[in-house]
Amino acid sequence: MADALAEAKAQKIGLKSPADMVLGADQVLEFDGKPLSKAESPDALEAQLRQLRGQPHKLHSAAVLHHENRPIWRQVSTATLWMRDLPDAALSAYVTRNWSEVQGCVGGYQIEGAGIRLFHRIDGDYFTILGLPLLPLLNFLHDRKELP
């Protein structure tokens, strides 16, 4: 799903500028084998965090490079995150303090900020969690001599 979304984003812009390389990226949170959408309100985020607490979930991050009306490179990377089993009051306080920063984030957290405190274990690449498998992208661009 993340791969299809990333490709659609790259293609949309790539069709307007076929000579340019266009990068599309997206991320999908998988919990219990199903995708979990971004919370639309603080109450919805609290409900999601209560569902995730004490459990692992996966973040699938995809990137697709589009050039000359076709994808020329793609990568899907996955990270697994284990959320602490926090009490309702702690989750509520987290949402109240951080809603403005995390309302557009899948899972309702940013590990580069206060959201890191929600977790006791993370397996996977930092950039995958941020939403872009950066190292594989840089390797591809380096191998093509697109980077100085």
pLDDT at 105: 92
- Sorted by sequence, the CB contacts under 8 Å of residue 24 that are 6+ apart come out as 5, 6, 7, 8, 9, 10, 11, 12, 13, 63, 64, 66
Low-confidence ranges of the chain (pLDDT < 70): none
Task: Tally helices (H) and strands (E) across the chain.
Answer: 5, 5
Q: How far is CA 20 from CA 3, 65, 100, 133, in A?
A: 20, 10, 35, 20
Residue-wise pLDDT tens digits, 104-132: 999 999 999 999 999 999 999 999 999 99
Q: Say how many C-beta atoms besides its own lie within 10 A of residue 109's C-beta.
A: 24
pLDDT at 53: 96
pLDDT at 148: 83
pTM of structure: 0.91
Q: In the 8-state DSSP scheme, what is residue 39?
A: P
Q: If we measure between CA atoms, which residue out of 40, 26, 57, 58 comes closest to residue 95?
A: 40
Active-site residues: which are they? 26
pLDDT at 40: 95
Looking at domain 2-143, its CATH class is: alpha beta
